Structure 1
């Protein structure tokens, strides 16, 4: 029943994701419940951190090449009378950009700093816009001022696209940076074309915001499809596990079936032979069960089988294995257990069945349900096969029945050989 509850819950969650996918296709706005929204942004931010961390050295190479291209260009276009003033500011601008990128990498790479990555990204974008505007707009060469406009646009767009910060938060950061930039320019009487500068700042903010929203919309859809795939995989895995469980377990008793016993015996047998450790095998049969079925009915008989199986399972150790061998017969494997240990476990099982106190009027050995139990021990002998081991345990059960039922019988290899000789 537990697996059915999980299956229903997962199916319900999958249906909700499918509804969200349909809504996301119609609208680019937020359509996630709070918990899913937080998970999306956490994953989105984590991906941004991962990308910065993974591609940092490629970025360093690109930035170095860009620097090598920019410096000669600035060298030739700077007016001779203002060369050192303007050239130093260009170098400081390149150095400042490199330090900003390096700081962003530190917050993406080092575990102790990762929790502050989003705040660091917004602070760095704010600082980069303010500082780069100051360094580039205070030059005297007019051509460099136009270049500064392009640099500001790039900073805005990189801030939106690369950092993984929510577009609205980056929008607020960009607007604050734009306002502070204009205030700084007016405060220090830096000559600018106000209309052009305002268009650059506001246009960069809006363009970056729109680009970021489009990217987020695409990422949202990918996120939802991945969630849907994960839920589908979980549903398939639960169904597969349940089918495997049903193929290996008896439907009535919920313990393992004959097929699973054969597989486990092979594994335990090989392990015992390899390690030269004992393996005990118990065969259990409910006494006069056919008479019980005929007298009380098959429904009561099924209840007895279920109760006996549960009692056996509760009486053995967690490392032991129990299976329904067929009809009213059960088999138990006791790894690393010698004859003394096996007899102790068998006694526990015997007493557990007695404590059930299930009436059985047609039994000739007791007025309640009883069992006959036979067991043998494999000690790693090379000449004894798995079939021989089963045969010995079956003979032990047969002897327990022949001696009057309602008892435990231990069969050694020597006794088994004698009995086979007599037959």
Structure 2
């Protein structure tokens, strides 16, 4: 929105952000329960196929949204509308015809396409697609990700949380090692590309494995074909392997997470837009352009890093507050979190839990503000940690 100020995309995002900001959190939570949880559960139980009328409506709406976002002359808008509508309708039609909503999965082809898209996007943003060395590093790490997809299927059957975290760390370290070995003179950029591609490649393998466990989770007697939960943090009496229990936690935390994200969307987008607009008018940006640097380098390496400084402060404050509990969201979704503890203790006039609550809040505020100070040193070369 900052790079395309006063365009259709800018106005659209501004409208959406302020609309979401104006919604009370309890109303947003109730709407998510009704239209996301209950509606999707009914869709799965009745006939998980998308009708022709609904498919056409979704495709047309998608085309209208994308042509507003992309903008341009009438011919360009019509092309964007047609391509996006056909792509949306084709993908949804394919998913409906293959009964994907009941038996989801990425499969080797889906994982390969996602890894290839990640390599192209990461290299394009950080180094430019003309940088063959960066393309080689991203492709090598992506190829290792595809090898791990086939090699780890048997190991993942016995997965635990510690194993998943360990494999994730190994993947990032391998990506950094490949970047360091093939990075040439710019090893820092190469290691970042390798780490990012490795992280997302591992994430795609993990997501596919969760999708493989989805049918057995939905068919569990305690779930009874209605997987998206509306209350609680877990299904009472539910037992299963790591993948099923993780899916149970995910389906219970999905709606509260979406509610908190949508409420916070306006604040982050407004701060980011205002910060980047201010940075783009600075003298050092004009100097970088005068030196002949590509616009991608000017934006990513010079403007974006400095724009992230106020965002780092905002994120640190919000995460610290979030760990202290979201009273309204927890109440609507009946989640026994810190907010519920604080609210119940106030009603009982029980001072000990209240004192413990404020102690946790204070520790989190100090910790995440300290982490924000460290982030300043990583983002701004003028700041040094001694």
**Structure with larger RCO (C-alpha < 8 A, sep 6+):** 2
Instruction: Please give the TM-score of this superposition, normalised by the length of structure 1.
Output: 0.21
* The structure with more helix, counted as a fraction of residues: 2
Instruction: Please give the TM-score of this superposition, normalised by the length of structure 2.
Output: 0.22
